[in-house]
Amino acid sequence: MSSDRSGRGEPGVARVPFTAMRVNVTPEGREVIFPYGLSWYRLKWADVPERFKVLYVAKLRLNGYDVPDDLKPYERDNVTLDDLTVEVDLTRAEEVTGEYPL
């Protein structure tokens, strides 16, 4: 795993800062939108890494929101925050156009 500042390491794997990733709720369910390089990508919730889901649930809890039932499996009493990047498999992501509602 590379730790260079470009975020580029293993082919097809992007290291994306958690804080740059956004959750959208669509009629099909949740998805995550994130920038990488000069493009934006969309990732179906089923393909989102567990690390992101754990951090997302921790963020919901810290902000005082109720955790939806389907996200309860990602609740943790302790969350390691030493590295806030999430490794995303770009081969599972779809590049989105500038017209996509971010």
- The kind and range of the H/E element at 54 are helix 50-62
Tell me the pLDDT tens digit for each residue of 26-77. 999 999 999 999 899 999 999 999 999 999 999 999 999 999 999 999 999 9
Q: What is the pLDDT of residue 80?
A: 92
Residue type, 63: N
Dihedral of the alpha carbons of 98, 27, 29, 44, in degrees to the nearest 10: -30
Residue 20 has pLDDT above 80, yes or no: yes
CB neighbour list of residue 57: distance below 8 Å, 6 or more residues apart:
67, 71, 74, 75, 76
Q: Which pLDDT band holds residue 11 (cuts at 50, 70, 90)?
A: low
The beta strand positions in the chain, using DSSP E, are 13-17, 22-26, 29-36, 39-44, 85-89, 94-96
Q: What is the pLDDT of residue 97?
A: 80
